[in-house]
A and B are shown apart, each in its own frame.
Chain A
Amino acid sequence: MTRGAAGAAVLVLVLVPPLLTSNPFLLHLAITVLLWTLLGAAWNLLGGFAGQVSFGHSTFFGVGAYTTMILYLKGGLAPWYGMALGGIVAVLVSLPIGLICFRLRGPYFSLSTLAVAEIVRLVALNWEGLTNGPVGLLITTLPRVAWGGRILDWESKVPFYYMIATFALASMLATYRLSRARLGAYLLAIREDEDAAESVGIDTVRAKVLTLALSAFFTGLGGGFYGLYFRYVDPDAVFPIALSVEMVFIAVVGGLATVIGPVIGAVFLTTIGEMFREHFLVGHLIFYGLFMMLVIRYLPEGIWGGARRAWAKRP
């Protein structure tokens, strides 16, 4: 299959669902999957390629979400500009975090990202003048927008679907481009051995900070989308540790350092999460956790990584 054909197939797959169904639940499910794909792919850039396991990506998600909300509610800036700015503010926030946390390696790096995320969550909770504290921020009406001569219907899920599909595709394209670029090769070297990477002339700090910035941009974009879609954010919704951990799970279950992995991780974890919630009113997270353990035990390269290996080994 040529690259062009693959691209066309992906485009059709993404464009068609809203034409087939107007069932809001199915569209909501698709939007959820695409949002998680975006977040998983964003995390994968740093965690999968560079091997820098961040447990603090909710920081960038929350910063993106709050930026979008605050700019709209207090500054009247339309949320689509706000979403892009959410990504950019997440990048600005990522720079000092990277410069501090990347002094540490391995588990110490991971723990430092966890600590930073907790600090940011507490700031959001207590800086009431800016964030409204635990009460959160609520958008009651979205602005009227015409697109191709038609007024967009914000009560329908279709505009949101196309918006998040665009973002998710962009994150996958960025992953693909990175995997082909010199920076991507540098990141794999850093994942394998940081000292050896330095010894062959790779500026490891620069490579990691750049990648964190890219990763933060997409995560912040996802946060901005979340704010716009749910029209409500509070610190517990956009800054929890569980959100950071979910991004890790999606990338790991799907397949680290792959383009397709995050989609597969998002599909599996969203549908399985829903299924368990439906069947086991109590303790559904136990089964969810069990599923995670099985994947990590038997498919350490993730579902896509394992499938690719099996395909390469076929007789």
Chain B
Amino acid sequence: MPLLTVTDLTKDFGGLRAVSRLSFDAEPGEILGLIGPNGAGKTTVFNLVTGFLRPSAGRILLEGRSVVGLRPHAITRRGIARTFQVVKPFPRLSVLENVTLAAFSHEAARRRAEALAAQILERVGLQDKLGSLAADLTLGEQKRLEIARALATDPRLLLLDEPMGGLNPREVNAACALVEQIRADGVSVILVEHVMKAIMRISNRIVVIHHGEKIADGPPERVVNDPGVIAAYLGTRVV
């Protein structure tokens, strides 16, 4: 059974159809790339799956159980965690406290939640920043902090919204390695990303959406050579 099954997902904002009858699966243990030109509806899909938006129509099943209508915190507790395209750390709290708060979702005792948080921060390479305020981190560090915070909720599926946006090439490499490590630890990942080199390298499969509709779904090498995908990105010749 797929981990996540999205069927005929549709979202209208007034007269605008941001997502249109979109269907896709995410399998356990895979990194699924979700790409598309700006405004294609990728972040809207994330907001629908994580409960920040309510679908106009369609079904979202996590291991066969619907999560439509649940509030975001409940969906997190079911096992779907996310990061945000524009980072949303808790700026005036320490790095450790940021992640501890997430660990509280399944570990009530503060001491054990903190130990868990410290362990996860080490995995993302922020072990030297535990006492810093989140606001004082660089953008690259804040993105890793968000991943740590999402991991601390003990998810089965992690939705990463442009974790590499604004990072330098060295940081992108580190981020790729981190995402692959997360998969190796048994967490499936859906990745929205504009850094093509990265997404081509680490995705098992790529879903392309354009104007809210799916236009391709397959392994990276096949998807990039798909004429429809090339047209969506570069435009079609008029004559």
Contact = CB atoms under 8 A, between A and B. Distances in A.
Interface residues of B, number: 30
Contact of B90 (A182, A189, A204, A205): A189
A200 B105 contact: yes
Nearest to B113: A182
Q: Max chain A CB contacts within 10 Å: which of B81, B104, B105, B152? A: B104
B93 A182 contact: no
A266 B102 CA distance: 36
B143 to A, nearest CB: 13
Contacts of B52: 195, 198
B90 A193 contact: yes
Interface string B75-100: 01100011010001111110001001
A182 B89 contact: no
B88 A200 contact: no
B50 A199 contact: yes
Contacts of B10: none
B73 A204 contact: yes
Nearest to A206: B73
Contacts of B93: 188-189, 192
A148 interface: no
B88 A198 contact: no
B199 interface: no
Contacts of B92: 192
B144 interface: no
A197 B104 CA distance: 11
Nearest to B135: A192
Interface string A191-213: 01101111111111100000000
B84 A199 contact: yes
B88 A185 contact: no
Contacts of B97: 185, 188
Nearest to B97: A185
B228 interface: no
A193 B104 CA distance: 17
B90 A198 contact: no
Contact of A198 (B76, B89, B91): B76
A60 interface: no
Contact of A201 (B100, B110, B153): B153
B45 to A, nearest CB: 16
A186 interface: yes
B149 interface: yes
B72 A185 contact: no
Contacts of A205: 71
A205 B70 CA distance: 13
B73 A198 contact: yes
B108 interface: yes
Given A195-B84, A197-B90, A201-B76, 18 more contacts: A188-B93, A189-B93, A192-B90, A193-B88, A196-B84, A196-B149, A197-B101, A198-B73, A199-B50, A199-B76, A199-B81, A200-B105, A200-B149, A200-B152, A201-B77, A201-B102, A202-B105, A204-B73
30 contacts: A182-B104, A182-B110, A185-B100, A186-B101, A186-B104, A189-B93, A189-B101, A192-B89, A192-B92, A193-B88, A193-B91, A195-B72, A196-B84, A197-B90, A197-B101, A198-B76, A199-B72, A199-B81, A199-B82, A199-B88, A200-B76, A200-B101, A200-B149, A201-B105, A201-B153, A202-B73, A202-B101, A202-B104, A203-B73, A204-B73
